[in-house]
Amino acid sequence: MRTVNIGELKNQLSGYLQHVKDGEEIVIRDRNVPVARILPFRHGAEWDQEAKMVASGAMKMPEEEMDWEQFFHAPAAEVPREVAVAAAIDSRGDR
């Protein structure tokens, strides 16, 4: 992972974008305080579709990797059947 201050990034943008194309992450700093990251897009059919959605503003990429182990081992909440059925019917809209 590389870090760069805004001024240097502006002057050397093409070079830093090449590092991103090569798979590196760039952390952008404003007066040495991290403010943003530039991450490479993954390629493939589903990743290309996600890239289009991000570019259009319809989707935001996750900020960190999902911890699937914790997700599937988290205790399930007890939801009354009536509440679950009402939520499912509500989510259908006017279909």
pLDDT at 5: 95
Total-model pTM: 0.49
Q: Residue 92: pLDDT above 90?
A: no
pLDDT, mean of residues 6-20: 95
For every residue of 57-69, DSSP letters joined together read TS----SS---HH
Half-sphere exposure of 16 (CA within 13 A, CB side): 20
At 41-60, the pLDDT tens digits run 777 777 778 888 888 999 88
Return mean pLDDT, the chain.
86
Domain 2-92, classified CATH 3.40.190.10, yes or no: no
What are the extents of the domains in the chain?
2-92
CA pair distance 81, 85, nearest whole angstrom = 6
Lowest average pLDDT, out of 24-28, 35-39, 43-47, 90-94, goes to 43-47
